[in-house]
Amino acid sequence: MLDSNFEIGSGKIQTSFDTKGFLLRLVNYWYIIVLCLILALGVAYYINLRTQRLYRLDTLISVKEETNPFFTSSMSLTFNYGGASDKVETVRTILKSRSHNENVVRLTQTYIHYMKQGRFRMEDIHNKAPFIVSIDESDFQVLGTPVKLTFVSESEYTLSLDPGENKVVNLTRYVDGSTEKLSTSKVTSKKYVLGQEISEPYFHGVIAKRGNLKGGKGQVYYIRFNSINSEVNKFRKINIDIEVKGASMLRLNLVGTNRDILADYLNATIQVLKKDQLDQKNQFATNTLNFIEEQLEGVTDSLKRNEKQLRDFRQNKQIFDLSSKGSAINDEMRGLQIEENSVTSRIAYLNLLRDYLVNKSDYASLPAPGSSGIEDPNILMNVGKIVELSVQRDKIKSNVKNPIYYTKIDEQISALKSVLIENIKTAKEKLQFDLATLESRLQRAKFEFNKLPLEEQQLYNIQRKYELSKASYDMLLVKQNEARLVRAANVSDIKVIDPAQNLSQGPLTPNSSKNYFMASLAGVLVPFIIIFILTLLDTKIHGAQDIERLTSLPVLGMVGHSYVKSNLAVFEKSKSAVSESFRAIRSSLQYFMRSSKQEVDDNKCQTVLITSSVSGEGKTFFSINLASVFSLGNKKTVLVGLDLRKPKIFGDFNLNNDVGVVNYLIGQKELDEVIEYSGFENLDVITSGPLPPNPSELLISDKMTQMVNELKKRYDIIVLDTAPMGLVADSLELIKYVDVTLYMVRHNYSKKEMLTLINDKRKKGELGPTGVILNDFGSKSGYGYGYGYGYGYGYGYGNYGNGYHEREKRDSIFKRLISRFKS
């Protein structure tokens, strides 16, 4: 609690936020908090009911290079994405790319939506529809406008367009994305059988039965075709997170309205990714196989031709046995020619490779160097790298349009190309030296060979050609089998760890529990804040504690709310709690005057002045009943109406206000002429009389002094009902005549700042002995209940008064609730 203290007169005044009052007000207004809570929960229920449900599904994959068990150093055929981090980032880029998602959308046909009218909106039911649509993508289909399908039996249905108020609808052709318009006036409803081909201006395709699902008579479904672009843009929002930092595992998740669609799309996107990645991984092996097959075509023809020539020559010449010398020379020449062909083949591959590097920009179709027998590790490694980068560049280029993503790859390819050209130059120089050496040795063998008989030379030449072709053919077959084996053994580097499944996951939104929690919080917090602000800004007095905090004047009593129609509560309900409170105040006045060091003599007249800060605080009610309770105590009492500006006391005693104090003060009447009998024993009344033009001047006149002095001789108790001190100064002029001043404060009505007025008057010495009366105090209204301050007042309310007080008839509950809400 934040307090601020200041001194007024001899008393210490404390102002602070009324924490206890705030808590009591919370308890008192419990029904408002309950009502706000019910309303807030009702709003939350409505939001949860009406909000479109969104679900999140995910799948977990790993991106890890799988080693080919048949990989050889001479056949650099494996393809990978690069380092672990490069692989992961490349996969993330591909999964978010337009071309990849377009392939998945076309594969899964997610642009075809199966709809059914739900409680609040059209719901996408996907594979729960009892039919499946196959369209002719080369023909036009309606775009965005629902096609209505109504079953008339299990196998028959009517098909119509549901354009709403649109007079023209859009059509699209999925094969090329072209569009055109269609007037809805040309559209009619027709009847079809499931499986029948349909050719309508807005739809071309077949609607067939889906599995064992059946459509009941009268059931209505809708088919909606979306554009490829809208579907791709929707699924490109796929979220991809690294599952474990530093690991090559990715978790893919999608948010949407249908869990089956999400599961199908996530699984399909992984399958497309795996296939593309494996195709890229097999690219080098495929290039090599194509290269070998081209060479095999030529070698096969040469082998068949040489075989036929050898067979024909043997038959024609009838030569079957050859000399041992000729056989040795022939074997030497054959070996040298095989080596010469191998060197020539390698030189040819190097020339082909150099031409590719110099004249072309796409190196994805290069065959493996091992297919030509090149075993230079530098060439093997660099050719593998340049093919890998080239394939990777083509893939990224097809997925993204911004060249910044593959500029770095171009730089790497350029650097590798320069290094590779130098490698080729060095390898060719070595091979040409080897070729020259082989040709020199072959010339010496030919010199010896020419000494053999002519027919024997011819046979050896034919046989050697055949054997050379056969050796080349066998070598190419080995290479071809090796390449096929490597390609067949390749596996994708993408592995599905946890596939996406519809497991009836709860919705992502609306979060019912969170909404109900927030509604409960708001339902309690909003009235709490309002009551806090009302308490903080509250300027009214709600109990004796407020009075004691704001002034050092004693609280002499509290008067409860009276349910008697007139102001004569003490006379009409003498045993009521209100009447008892006036009796307690009567006693408190005796104690108060003794504590104020005044002589209290039962035979001496006592004068009590009643005032307040403003009108409406109950001065007249209190004055009448205080005078009444004194009269019931056998005290000869007079009630004097000195509120000359707004007189009130006469009506309750059935008196008129024609003659009163004013007439006496201006000399028109004598005192006996203005004193009137109230109708109750020991109680007389002097009304104020007609309204004067100068009330203040009359109250400070000598006649006023004479009147008071004369009344003190005649009565035991004088009760002066005066004007509000906060509005006029009339009551201050009368302080000198009284023994005690009672300052009225009305519960839930009087302003706190008005107490500063009486504090100022007391500080200036303008007041004598003064006490405060809390009027209209309700035991269950406001939040002043339970305060126990003051010298004495009624015996309380509720069960404590049972048997001691008369029960007062209270307003109905309905009227009290209206009064409470107004307050």
- Indicate the domain borders of the chain: 19-51+510-537, 58-277, 283-489, 544-822
CA distance 489 to 508: 43
**Residue at token pair 């800060």:** 613
Nearest alpha-carbon partner for 75 in 350, 366, 371? 371
DSSP letter string over 481-506? HHHHHHHHH---SEEEEE------PP
Q: Is 672 exposed, middle or buried (0-12, 13-18, 19+ CB in 10 A)?
A: exposed
Give the tens place of pLDDT for each residue, 381-430. Answer: 777 777 777 767 766 666 555 666 567 777 787 788 788 888 888 887 88
CA distance 669 to 659: 8
Q: Under 8 Å CB-to-CB from 486, ≥6 apart: which residues? A: 68, 70, 71, 72, 75, 77, 78, 285
CB atoms within 10 A of CB 323: 11
Give the tens place of pLDDT for each residue, 485-527. Answer: 777 767 777 888 889 998 888 888 888 889 999 999 999 999 9
CA distance 181 to 143: 10
Give the tens place of pLDDT for each residue, 140-161. Answer: 999 999 999 999 999 999 999 9
**Is 51's pLDDT higher than 70?**
yes
CB atoms within 10 A of CB 369: 25
Q: What is the residue type of 660?
A: G
CA distance 199 to 487: 45
pLDDT at 415: 80
Q: Out of 3.30.70.1560, 3.40.50.300, 3.40.50.720, 3.40.50.1220, which CATH number does the structure's domain 544-822 have?
A: 3.40.50.300
Q: What are the tokens at 445?
A: 């063998």
Whether residue 277 contacts residue 493, with contact meaning beta carbons closer than 8 Å, is answered with yes
Residue 311 DSSP SS3: helix
CA distance 29 to 773: 26
Residue percentage of the chain with pLDDT more than 70? 80
Question: Looking at per-residue confidence, does 65 or 211 come out higher?
Answer: 211
Whether residue 228 contacts residue 99, with contact meaning beta carbons closer than 8 Å, is answered with no
Question: Looking at per-residue confidence, does 757 or 790 come out higher?
Answer: 757
**Is 191's pLDDT higher than 60?**
yes
**∠ at Cα 562 (560, 564), nearest 5°?**
165
Residue 603: band (very low, low, confident or very high) from pLDDT cuts 50, 70, 90? low
Residue 74: band (very low, low, confident or very high) from pLDDT cuts 50, 70, 90? very low
**Is 640's pLDDT higher than 90?**
yes
CA distance 408 to 211: 51
Give the tens place of pLDDT for each residue, 358-368. Answer: 776 666 666 66
Residue 282: band (very low, low, confident or very high) from pLDDT cuts 50, 70, 90? confident
Which H/E stretch holds residue 242?
strand 239-242
Q: What are the tokens at 167?
A: 């007079």
pLDDT at 400: 57
Q: Under 8 Å CB-to-CB from 403, ≥6 apart: which residues? A: none
CA distance 687 to 690: 9
Whether residue 586 contacts residue 46, with contact meaning beta carbons closer than 8 Å, is answered with no
**Is 613's pLDDT higher than 60?**
yes
CA distance 189 to 149: 10
Q: What is the residue type of 22?
A: F
Nearest alpha-carbon partner for 786 in 798, 802, 772? 798
Residue 579: band (very low, low, confident or very high) from pLDDT cuts 50, 70, 90? confident
Nearest alpha-carbon partner for 170 in 178, 182, 186, 158? 182
CA distance 599 to 592: 11
**Is 372's pLDDT higher than 80?**
no
pLDDT at 596: 62
Residue 639 DSSP SS3: strand
**Is 337's pLDDT higher than 90?**
no
CA distance 614 to 817: 27
pLDDT at 1: 37
Give the tens place of pLDDT for each residue, 116-140. Answer: 998 888 899 999 999 999 999 999 9
Give the tens place of pLDDT for each residue, 656-704. Answer: 888 999 999 999 999 999 999 988 999 999 999 999 988 888 888 999 9
Distances (CA, A) of 337 to 60, 371, 439, 442, 469: 58, 19, 9, 8, 11
Whether residue 494 contacts residue 4, with contact meaning beta carbons closer than 8 Å, is answered with no
Distances (CA, A) of 143 to 172, 306, 400: 6, 67, 27
Whether residue 235 contacts residue 254, with contact meaning beta carbons closer than 8 Å, is answered with yes
pLDDT at 83: 43
* Order of strands, sheet of 203-209, starting from the edge strand that comes earlier in the sequence: 131-135, 203-209, 197-200
Give the pLDDT mean for 275-304: 76
Give the tens place of pLDDT for each residue, 214-264. Answer: 888 899 999 999 999 999 999 998 999 888 776 688 999 999 999 999 999
Backbone angles phi, psi at 408, to 5 degrees: -65, -35
pLDDT at 322: 56
Residue 67: band (very low, low, confident or very high) from pLDDT cuts 50, 70, 90? low
Q: What is the residue type of 562?
A: S
pTM of the entire predicted model: 0.59
Whether residue 163 contacts residue 171, with contact meaning beta carbons closer than 8 Å, is answered with no
Question: Looking at per-residue confidence, does 813 or 637 come out higher?
Answer: 637
Lowest mean pLDDT among 467-481, 605-619, 777-791: 777-791
CA distance 151 to 140: 24
**Is 791's pLDDT higher than 60?**
no
pLDDT at 205: 94
Name the most confidently modeled range: 216-225, 343-352, 469-478. 216-225
pLDDT at 789: 34
CA distance 371 to 354: 16
Whether residue 686 contacts residue 722, with contact meaning beta carbons closer than 8 Å, is answered with no
Crossing angle of helices 98-108 and 259-281, in 10° steps, is 120
Which one-letter DSSP state was computed for residue 752? Answer: G
**Is 606's pLDDT higher than 70?**
yes
Q: Calculate Rg over the CA atoms of the chain.
A: 56
**Is 771's pLDDT higher than 80?**
yes
Question: Looking at per-residue confidence, does 622 or 403 come out higher?
Answer: 622
CA distance 244 to 247: 5
Which one-letter DSSP state was computed for residue 133? Answer: E
Question: Where do runs of H (alpha helix) occur along 538-609?
Answer: 544-550, 569-572, 577-595
Give the tens place of pLDDT for each residue, 163-190. Answer: 877 889 999 999 988 999 999 887 889 9
Mean of all residue pLDDT scores within the chain: 80
Give the pLDDT mean for 369-375: 65
Residue 441: band (very low, low, confident or very high) from pLDDT cuts 50, 70, 90? confident
Distances (CA, A) of 276 to 363, 393, 502: 18, 14, 26
Q: Which stretches does DSSP call E strand in 20-63?
A: 55-63
